[in-house]
């Protein structure tokens, strides 16, 4: 006997391939007795290079698609993601939620991620992550900062130790305490 599946599903649509419709949309599978109603969908818009520049998310409300969230993306000259800004649909307007900004080194390694939250009409810092790499591209350190009292404050540091392997042999985690790093744990890689 087959079990009916009730799944909340996300379906990705290309803006060129599938226009938004108020018609009921269902997915069916030959192995399932019951069609599954699509409750959410995503409409992506691409630039000339094929990068997604915006994604709009819709929820199903009383047989209509209703906007819920949106993300906008920017890229650098090499096609690497530079920023991601998220919005929520509220009272027929897009309201800023958070923004991620990414920085890479000349080899393309992600060296910095800065997260901002929207507050009182402007962006304020939330978290910042910095990474550093050795000469062969292995990540050797990651530092996390929090935005406290109007400035970035150290929070956690992880050092990755390599012993001739492509993957770290172990890591050392530190917490920020009284103006300095204090070791909190060591973990062997699996």
Q: Report pLDDT digits (tens) over 86-99.
A: 999 999 999 999 99
DSSP-assigned beta bridge partners for residue 20: none
pLDDT per residue as tens digits for the range 46-103: 999 999 999 999 998 888 899 999 999 999 999 999 999 999 999 999 999 999 999 9
Residue 12 has pLDDT above 50, yes or no: no
pTM of the entire structure? 0.75
pLDDT of residue 92: 93
The candidate with the shortest Cα–Cα distance to 39, out of 23, 25, 53, 51, is 25
DSSP string for the chain: -PPPP----EEEEETTT-----S--EE--TT-SS-EE--EEEEEEE-TTS-EEEEEEEEEETTEEEEEEEEEEEE-TTS-EEEEEEEEEETTEEEEEEEEEEEE-TT--EEEEEEEEEETTEEEEEEEEEEEE-TTS-EEEEEEEEEETTEEEEEEEEEEE-SSSSS-SEEEEEEEETTEEEEEEEEE--
The CATH code belonging to domain 105-190 is: 2.40.128.720
């Amino acid at each position: 006997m087959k079990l009916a599946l009730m799944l909340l599903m996300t379906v990705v649509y290309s803006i060129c391939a599938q226009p938004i419709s108020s018609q009921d949309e269902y997915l069916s599978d030959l192995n399932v007795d019951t069609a599954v109603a699509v409750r959410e969908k995503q409409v992506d818009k691409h630039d000339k290079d094929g990068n997604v520049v915006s994604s709009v998310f819709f929820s199903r409300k009383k047989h209509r698609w209703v906007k819920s969230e949106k993300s906008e993306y920017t890229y650098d000259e090499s096609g690497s993601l530079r920023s991601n800004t998220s919005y929520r649909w509220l009272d027929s307007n897009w309201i800023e939620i958070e923004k991620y900004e990414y920085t890479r080194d000349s080899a393309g390694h992600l060296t910095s991620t800065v997260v901002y939250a929207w507050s009182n009409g402007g962006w304020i810092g939330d978290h910042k992550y910095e990474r550093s790499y050795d000469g062969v591209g292995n990540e050797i350190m990651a530092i996390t900062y929090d935005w406290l009292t109007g400035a970035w404050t150290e929070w956690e540091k992880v050092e990755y130790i390599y012993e001739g392997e492509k993957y770290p042999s172990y890591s050392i985690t530190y917490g920020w305490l009284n103006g300095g790093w204090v070791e909190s744990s060591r973990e062997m890689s699996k």
